[in-house]
Amino acid sequence: MVHKFDAIVVGAGGAGLRCALELSQHNFNVAVLSKLYPVRSHTGAAQGGVGAALGNEEPDSPEWHFFDTVKGSDYLGDQDAIEIMCEDAIETVLELEHFGLPFSRTPDGKIAQRPFGGHTSNFGEAPVKRACYAADRTGHMILHTLYEQCVKNQVRFFNEFYVLDLIVEGETCQGVIAYDLATGEVNVFQAKATMLATGGHGRAFSITSNAHTYTGDGMAICFRRGIPMEDMEFVQFHPTGMRKLGILVSEAARGEGGILRNREDLDNIGTGKDGFMAAIAPTIKDLAPRDVVSRAMYNEIKEGRGIAGTGDPGSDYLYLDLVHLGADTINTQLPDISHFARTYLAVEPIKEPIPVQPTTHYAMGGIPTDVEGRVLWDAKNKPVPGLYAAGEVACVSVHGANRLGTNSLVDIIVFGRRGGKDMVRYLQETEFSRMTGEPDAFIRGEIDRLQNGGGKEQVVDIRTNMQKVMMVECGVYRTKESLTKARDAIMELRQRYQQVSVADKRACFNTELMEAIELGFLLDSAWTIAESALIRNESRGAHSREDFPERDDENWLKHTFIHYVEDGKVKFDYKPVTITKFQPKPRVY
Amino acid sequence: MSSRGSQAWLFQRVTAVLIFLLLGTHVFLYHYLMGPANWGYDILGFGAADLAKIKADPNLMKYYSLAKVFANPMWKVFDVTLITVGTYHGFYGIKAIIDDWVTHNGWRAIGNWVTYLIGFIIWVIGVVAVISFTPKLY
Amino acid sequence: MQVTVEVFRYDPDTDESRFDTFIKEVDPKDRVLDVMMAIKDEDDGTIAFRKSCAHGVCGSCAMEINGLNRLACQVLIQDLKSKRIHIRPIKGMKVLRDLIVDMEAFFAGLEKVKPYFIPGEPAPAAEYHQSVKDRAVFDETTKCIMCGSCTTSCPSFRWFNREFVGPAAFVKAHRFIFDSRDGGNEERLGVLDDKNGLWRCHSIYNCTDACPREIDITKAIGDLKRYTVIHR
Amino acid sequence: MYKIKEGMLSWLLHKITGVAIVAYLIIHIWSMAKMSKGPEAFNAVIETYKTTLFRAGEVLLLGAILFHGLNGFRLILAEFTAWASKRHKLLIYLTYVLAVVLFIIGGWFMWRAEG
């Protein structure tokens, strides 16, 4: 079946819906395609808040937000983009409030704000309340509010349509190919402009806070079409995932005053006294950025100060102590987190600390775009006409080597909106062009191979292997050896993937087929992550090389662009970091 | 019957409370004071002569006491009110059940009208019986 | 520990349904979703069910587990207190395959109550003013994840009347009607006071018991009933 | 089968007892109309009231009215106050206990009484 729309938005998370909303406000014929139902998207899992220098609680300025983000990114973020984001954040958040988003309130009826990791006043002096929040379900409220507004504006939704390929003619994007999960039909969606907002690739790792559906679809689709991936080596590990499960305990928990404790610190539980982070980041302690805290936790565990004391970062854990906050704060400010702790760990956070360990959380890298959300063909900023990307799938880059807490939500709403606005401009000056050939032939072939290929490999074996090798060899700390091991293992798994076939032959909701396709996408992500990590011989932000422990601004103050050449072969390209206001400095907190 | 769900909902609750009050009085008066509680006759103002007659026929006792009660028109008003509120609450309840349980539109409409009709007939019978009850007193 | 898992299967191609039984070795702290995934990975890859976030915030994996609507990712095996796990799709919606039901009608049904912000007054330069107290009134109903567990547990919907607006839509309506900034209540009252509206709710509490987000839905509906009585 | 939890059981019982009470109401008004026709008619009706079957029915009716009334009271509380809605399970059990206790006491008196 062939559908024709002015614009297609792929993904119904925060970035996708914000973009769709912008387009619908200008009366364009827009369709949102999602492999899930709209409010199932992973934006809904974001808990703590969305950063914007409203200054409702105490003095704040977008420039401080700008500085914190640059510093948080370990100076790899492009400063022109970050400046735009921090300034746009304010009006974008207010706009969300005008769409009805139920932010928590200050006593004088304004949007309430709380401190968050890495957010400071006056260029690093002290923690500042900048994260606008709605209890601990800010992402959930953003997702629902945007969906509600899209319903109001009668945006057309194609639910459970899984986008598998781009239609690229010449160098222009003309739409997408989508697999209708309910019928098994391959659909062609022709559009003048396409927005990819499909999220990250956390499921390439075994312990992750990400949804099962977070499988790097958008990145792999572009990568296969010859679009490079930017900064793929930067994968954020969130310090406080629930032990074994990886479910996130939001940074808001530390924003409200939660403290990390090791086994030497057990007596201080409930007292509110400083924990081990005070020695590592004397100014902002437990509210240091995530890469810093994750590494500190890793080291604590490795040196035998984990709660179990085994020294094994794979299984040992630490405590997140909220007890001193009291039942009131815990129940009103952190209700969802408390609920998770009770449900999954049988831990009552009012009375006892929560066992936590670092969990794979966020992809800083992704599809390269400019500040208007336009996807780029190369490191020289040549745009792909008609193709946009925003949110975690994209790399603007505003997060550089490490994303600050709350900036993911800022990213999706700011760049979803900016992308939408630029699409409006683009749509006004562009006509439909003619599609040639059979754009869906490739995907039909792929589906046929997976369903009828007769190979003997199982999806689950390959997936489990990949997740394990990525977690162990490409995790919080990396070395040349571990990364080579990871890369080689992934290459072998990619070979085996060619022999995958699924037992399920049905057309209707063939979830086995869907998982096989997702695995293919994940293997692309894993491959690009390992290759990019191997080439970057320095430690910066979330990328920590034990064999290159220092940041190397002389050689590596640049973005990596990884291009697909042929299977097993990639080529690198580099783009200098845009520096406008803040010269790189050592990063201490 | 109200066309608006909101009013019908409220009425059902208001009548429930009324029934609680009225039925409580009704039961207390007819089934306690005139039954097990012999002292009830004093309250109703039965003299020694009445009691003597009653002793001869225990059934007449009830009849007399009822007659005594209905000699006061206030109690007729009371009973008519109870019958009205009770039939409304009861038959609206039946209608609500039909609304839920009968999913076919036609049958539901028929069921509703039959309910209204029976409810109305019962109400008329009850009201006529109370009003027309004019027993002779000895 | 060992459990017996009975999973509902429906094949749309042949229109046949049955229960498949699997014996699985599980950890009592495993979630039902973990067990389902283990079955899919190890025993039968063709079992179809929805899943995504796996920690109770997305609402994909609503299903009927041992006779109650739950999110499979939220129920630990030990909490079931049974070695027999009986899983079937949520009721009252068309089954498409195995545990997957058609949610289109459910989502379309929600739209009846105009589940979106309708500004009561033009937007100010900064945010609308809302006191902490006013914000708290509707806090609970903002938690809804639209998983459908409530509506499909309600006999008024499931047994009798698929036109019934249903608890999920009432939760959405509550979230906006009691938002001091919203001005669209007039438009919503008609649907609520309709014959398929609020009055089909008999305070059965199935919705409240089923809600994975622990929203007291019946209370929210009670709030709406009183509001409607006063304002109509 | 979907589990019948407390609230649903109460709802079903409320409907069943409601129908039973309406059935009694019809009989009661019908017989009342007869009774109003004079002492003889009255006595005839009273005699039927005294049969074991009818008295057993009346005792059951007491149970129905007690449950319907108490549960109705609980429902009104639940719909009008958040306090009661939050404690709905407790209140439901309280309804059951009260209904049973009152039914035993009242039923015993009714059965023992001389009609």
Q: What is the distance between the alpha carbons of residues A101 and A108, in angstroms, rounded to a whole number?
A: 17
Q: Flag whether A560 is in a domain.
A: no
Core vs surface per residue A429-447: b (16+ CB within 10 A) or e: eeeeeeeeeebbeebeebb
Core vs surface per residue A80-91: b (16+ CB within 10 A) or e: bbbbbbbbbbbe
Q: Flag whether B8 is in a domain.
A: yes
Q: Flag whether B47 is in a domain.
A: no
**pLDDT at site A533:** 97
Please tell me which chains touch D, using 3 or more CB pairs under 8 Å as the contact test: B, C
CB distance C106 to C168 below 8 Å = yes
Q: Is C28 on the interface with A (CB under 8 A)?
A: no
Contacts of D113 in chain B (CB under 8 A): 35-36
Chains C and D, touching by 3 or more CB pairs within 8 angstroms:
yes
pLDDT > 90: percent of chain B = 46
CB distance A213 to A36 below 8 Å = yes
Work out the mean pLDDT of chain D and round it to a whole number: 90
CA A446 to the chain's CA centroid: 27
CB distance A30 to A8 below 8 Å = yes
Tens of pLDDT, residues B29-48: 777 766 555 555 666 666 67
Tell me the average pLDDT across A78-97. Answer: 97
> Which of the listed residues A358, A375, A392 is the one where a domain comes to its end?
A358
Determine whether the interchain pair C218/D2 forms a contact, defined as Cβ–Cβ distance below 8 Å. no
How many distinct structural domains can be found in chain A?
3
Handedness of CA C172, C177, C182, C186 (dihedral sign): positive
Give Cβ neighbours of residue B101 (< 8 Å, ≥ 6 apart). Answer: C160
Determine whether the interchain pair D86/C206 forms a contact, defined as Cβ–Cβ distance below 8 Å. no
Tens of pLDDT, residues D20-73: 999 999 998 988 888 777 777 877 887 888 888 888 998 999 999 999 999 999
Say whether A538 sits in a helix, a strand or coil.
coil
Q: Quick one: pLDDT band at residue D78, thresholds 50, 70, 90?
A: very high
Q: What is the distance between the alpha carbons of residues A52 and A174, in angstroms, rounded to a whole number?
A: 35
Same domain for A469 and A455, yes or no, is yes
Radius of gyration of chain B (CA): 19
Contacts of C193 in chain B (CB under 8 A): 4-6
CB distance C65 to C16 below 8 Å = no
Q: Flag whether A559 is in a domain.
A: no
DSSP element (H, E) containing A575:
strand A569-576
Which tokens is A394 given? Answer: 């994209």
| Tokens 């807490």 belong to residue | A405
Determine whether the interchain pair C225/D79 forms a contact, defined as Cβ–Cβ distance below 8 Å. yes
Cβ–Cβ contacts within 10 Å for residue A254, how many? 27
Q: Flag whether A255 is in a domain.
A: yes
Work out the mean pLDDT of chain B and round it to a whole number: 82
Q: What is the distance between the alpha carbons of residues A183 and A506, in angstroms, rounded to a whole number?
A: 9
B 74-93 → D contacts, CB under 8 A:
83, 86-87, 90-91, 93
Distance from the Cα of B106 to chain D's closest Cα (Å) equals 22
Which tokens is A162 given? Answer: 């899984």
Answer yes or no: is pLDDT of A133 > 70.
yes
Cβ–Cβ contacts within 10 Å for residue A352, how many? 17
Contacts of C128 in chain A (CB under 8 A): 97-98
Nearest to C8 by CA among C104, C102, C101: C101
Q: Is C194 on the interface with B (CB under 8 A)?
A: yes
Tell me the average pLDDT across A60-86. Answer: 97
Which tokens is A22 given? Answer: 């912008």
Same domain for A257 and A336, yes or no, is yes
Answer yes or no: is pLDDT of B84 > 90.
yes
Nearest to A38 by CA among A20, A11, A19, A15: A11
In order of C109, C113, C150, C152, C198, the CA distances from C157 in angstroms are 12, 16, 10, 7, 12
The nearest alpha carbon in chain B to D69 belongs to B20
Estimate the share of chain D in helix, then strand, then coil, as percent rounded to the nearest 5. 85, 0, 15
Among C96, C145, C176, select the one facing A509 at the smallest CB separation.
C96
Same domain for A156 and A93, yes or no, is yes
> Which of the listed residues A313, A335, A358 is the one where a domain comes to its end?
A358
Among C66, C205, C216, select the one facing D5 at the smallest CB separation.
C205
Give Cβ neighbours of residue A321 (< 8 Å, ≥ 6 apart). Answer: A258, A259, A260, A261, A268, A269, A270, A275, A353
Same domain for A125 and A8, yes or no, is yes
For the residues of A43-91, what is the DSSP string, one character each? GGG--S-EE----SSS---HHHHHHHHHHHTTT-S-HHHHHHHHHHHHH
Q: At residue A425, what is the residue type? A: R
**pLDDT at site B134:** 72
Determine whether the interchain pair D7/C216 forms a contact, defined as Cβ–Cβ distance below 8 Å. no
In order of A582, B29, C65, the CA distances from B22 in angstroms are 82, 10, 46
Work out the mean pLDDT of chain A and round it to a whole number: 95
Residue B131 vs residue B29, higher pLDDT: B131
Polymer length of chain C: 232
Same domain for A223 and A254, yes or no, is no
In order of A208, A246, A298, A525, B71, the CA distances from A360 in angstroms are 4, 8, 13, 14, 87
**pLDDT at site A485:** 97
Same domain for A283 and A417, yes or no, is no
DSSP element (H, E) containing D63:
helix D52-80
C 58-97 → A contacts, CB under 8 A:
58-60, 74, 76, 96-97
For the residues of A385-437, what is the DSSP string, one character each? EEEEE-GGGEE-SSSTTSPPTTHHHHHHHHHHHHHHHHHHHHHHT-------S
CB distance C78 to C30 below 8 Å = no
> Across-strand partners of A461?
none
Contacts of B128 in chain D (CB under 8 A): 33
Which range marks the domain in which residue A345 is found? 242-358
Chains B and A, touching by 3 or more CB pairs within 8 angstroms:
no
Q: What is the DSSP letter of A360?
A: E
B 12-31 → D contacts, CB under 8 A:
13, 16-17, 20, 23
Class of domain C104-230: mainly alpha
Q: Flag whether B66 is in a domain.
A: no
End-to-end C-alpha distance for chain D, whole angstroms: 45
**pLDDT at site B34:** 64
Among D25, D33, D36, select the one facing B90 at the smallest CB separation.
D25
**pLDDT at site B1:** 34
Same domain for A107 and A210, yes or no, is yes
Determine whether the interchain pair B6/C194 forms a contact, defined as Cβ–Cβ distance below 8 Å. no
Q: What is the distance between the alpha carbons of residues C197 and C183, in angstroms, rounded to a whole number?
A: 20
Domain parsing of chain C, residue ranges: 2-101, 104-230
Tell me the average pLDDT across B1-10. Answer: 73
Q: Which of A290, A418, A463, A494 is catalytic?
A: A290
Q: At residue A156, what is the residue type? A: R
Tell me the average pLDDT across C165-180. Answer: 96
Tell me the average pLDDT across A342-353. Answer: 93
Cβ–Cβ contacts within 10 Å for residue D47, how many? 12
- What CATH number does residue A200 fall under? 3.50.50.60
Estimate the share of chain A in helix, then strand, then coil, as percent rounded to the nearest 5. 40, 25, 40
Which tokens is D52 given? Answer: 């074991």
Identify the contact set of chain D against chain B, taking CB-CB distances under 8 A. Answer: 15, 18-19, 21-22, 25-26, 29-30, 32-33, 35-36, 38-39, 42-43, 46-47, 65, 69, 72-73, 76, 79, 109, 113-114
Determine whether the interchain pair D29/B129 forms a contact, defined as Cβ–Cβ distance below 8 Å. yes
Candidate CATH numbers 1.10.3470.10, 1.10.1200.10, 1.20.1300.10, 3.30.70.260; the one for domain D6-112:
1.20.1300.10
Nearest to A299 by CA among A127, A480, A544, A473: A544
Decide if A290 is catalytic.
Answer: yes
Tell me the average pLDDT across A517-536. Answer: 97
> Which of the listed residues A301, A325, A358 is the one where a domain comes to its end?
A358
Same domain for A93 and A185, yes or no, is yes
Q: Is A514 on the interface with C (CB under 8 A)?
A: no
The two beta strands, A367-368 and C68-71, are unpaired
- Helix A407-428 / helix A14-25 crossing angle, nearest 10 deg: 30
Nearest to A155 by CA among A50, A258, A12: A12
Q: Is C142 on the interface with A (CB under 8 A)?
A: yes
Q: Quick one: pLDDT band at residue A391, thresholds 50, 70, 90?
A: very high
Tens of pLDDT, residues A361-390: 999 999 999 999 999 999 999 999 999 999
Q: What is the DSSP letter of C228?
A: H
Tell me the average pLDDT across C182-200. Answer: 92
Tell me the average pLDDT across D85-93. Answer: 92
Answer yes or no: is pLDDT of B59 > 80.
no
Determine whether the interchain pair C60/A159 forms a contact, defined as Cβ–Cβ distance below 8 Å. no
Q: How many CB pairs under 8 A join B and D?
A: 68
Residue D47 vs residue A95, higher pLDDT: A95
| Tokens 């025993």 belong to residue | C43
- From edge to edge, which strands make up the β-sheet containing A318-321? A235-242, A354-363, A318-321, A259-261
Q: What is the distance between the alpha carbons of residues A390 and A226, in angstroms, rounded to a whole number?
A: 18
Answer yes or no: is pLDDT of C17 > 70.
yes
Q: Flag whether A576 is in a domain.
A: no
Among D39, D42, D113, select the one facing B36 at the smallest CB separation.
D113
Q: How many CB pairs under 8 A join A and C?
A: 151
Determine whether the interchain pair C199/B5 forms a contact, defined as Cβ–Cβ distance below 8 Å. yes
Determine whether the interchain pair C107/A340 forms a contact, defined as Cβ–Cβ distance below 8 Å. no
Architecture per CATH, domain C2-101, reads as Roll (3.10)
Q: What is the DSSP letter of A39?
A: G
Domain parsing of chain D, residue ranges: 6-112
- What CATH number does residue B95 fall under? 1.20.1300.10
Q: What is the distance between the alpha carbons of residues A196 and A9, in angstroms, rounded to a whole number?
A: 6
**pLDDT at site B138:** 47
**pLDDT at site B43:** 60
Would you call A554 exposed, middle or buried from its count of C-beta atoms within 10 A (0-12, 13-18, 19+)?
Answer: exposed
How many distinct structural domains can be found in chain B?
1
Among B63, B92, B100, most D C-beta atoms within 10 A, so best to mutate, is B63
Q: What is the distance between the alpha carbons of residues C62 and C40, in angstroms, rounded to a whole number?
A: 17
Tell me the average pLDDT across B102-106. Answer: 89
**pLDDT at site B41:** 62
Same domain for A53 and A123, yes or no, is yes
> Across-strand partners of A99?
none
Residue A108 vs residue A244, higher pLDDT: A108
Within chain B, residue ranges assigned H as helices are: 5-26, 40-44, 48-56, 58-70, 73-101, 105-132
Q: Flag whether B27 is in a domain.
A: yes
Tens of pLDDT, residues C108-156: 999 999 999 999 999 999 999 999 999 999 999 999 999 999 999 999 9
Say whether C69 sits in a helix, a strand or coil.
strand
